[in-house]
Amino acid sequence: MPAADLALFSHVVTRSEADLDLAQAALLIAEPEYPELDIPRYLEQLDQLGERARLLLDEANAANEPPLRRVTRMLHDDLGFAGNDGDYYDPRNSFLNEVLDRRTGIPITLAVVILEVGRRAGITAHGVGFPGHFLVRTAGPHGPLFLDPFTGALCDRERLRALHAQATGESRDPDPRLLEPLEKRLILARMLNNLRGIYAAAGDGERLHGVLERIQVLAPSDEIAQQLRALAPPPRSPPRIMN
């Protein structure tokens, strides 16, 4: 990975939680795969979706519908954003530009779309790092509401129990700590860890090395440093001088 790309990623993700632009950082995760990526164009696309969502808020209020639920219905029902059941482990599902182009992805990238469109419409929401299935959390009239980005549906207690059982094998209410808001840096780290698993399974050392470099920026650890050293190309031997 070019040092300049990694430096820009580091500059963006080391900002404070309030100043960190989640969409920009997520697009920078895709940049090594798409060197000519037009990041401003995708941010503008999110701006346009946010403006469209803002126009729906009066409709949501009149129907006594949670604003973020209306935004999610716009994305899922009207525009066709949906989970990729057919090829869940396609790495394109983890790249925000591809999710915006193809309107399909995995829960975490679809959640980033919902969060960023909602933010542009003036709605406060957060990602939730639920085991095995990322969720979106927003305020409701009687407490927090949880949305499933993969299906666009609200998660009631039974749905949360089912997701918890699917991830852990335990058929019970999840620990409330699993439903707490997740910081943006941890969302980005989870996105990268998804790619880490995909590239490791495929034996793609070059792409895995680039992902690990970015994980090391977000959450430095001896484990990642060791893996980076193991994946580093061997030093080139100096040319032999023939007499």
Mean pLDDT for the stretch of residues 52-73 = 93
pLDDT at 29: 97
pLDDT at 241 over 90: no
Q: Which residue has the tokens 């007499």?
A: 243
Q: What is the pLDDT of residues 192-227, one digit of tens each?
A: 999 999 999 999 999 999 999 999 999 999 999 999
d(CA 148, CA 220): 30
pLDDT at 242 over 80: no
Mean pLDDT score of the chain: 93
The answer to whether residues 146 and 154 touch, using CB atoms and an 8 Å cutoff, is yes
Mean pLDDT for the stretch of residues 9-38 = 96
pLDDT at 2 over 90: no
Mean pLDDT for the stretch of residues 223-236 = 83
d(CA 84, CA 86): 5
Longest dimension (CA), the chain: 88
Q: Which residue has the tokens 């970015």?
A: 214
pLDDT at 5: 82
Domain-wise residue ranges, the chain:
3-221
pLDDT at 141: 86
Mean pLDDT for the stretch of residues 56-74 = 93
Mean pLDDT for the stretch of residues 83-109 = 97
d(CA 207, CA 194): 13
At 59, which amino acid appears?
A: E
d(CA 27, CA 234): 30
pLDDT at 235: 57
What DSSP state is assigned to residue 154?
B
Mean pLDDT for the stretch of residues 98-115 = 98
Query: In this structure, what are the phi and psi dihedrals at residue 126, rounded to the nearest 5 degrees?
Result: -140, 155
Confidence of residue 240 (pLDDT cuts 50, 70, 90): low
d(CA 112, CA 211): 19
Q: Which residue has the tokens 């959450």?
A: 219
Confidence of residue 232 (pLDDT cuts 50, 70, 90): confident
Helix (H, G, I), strand (E, B) or coil at 235: coil
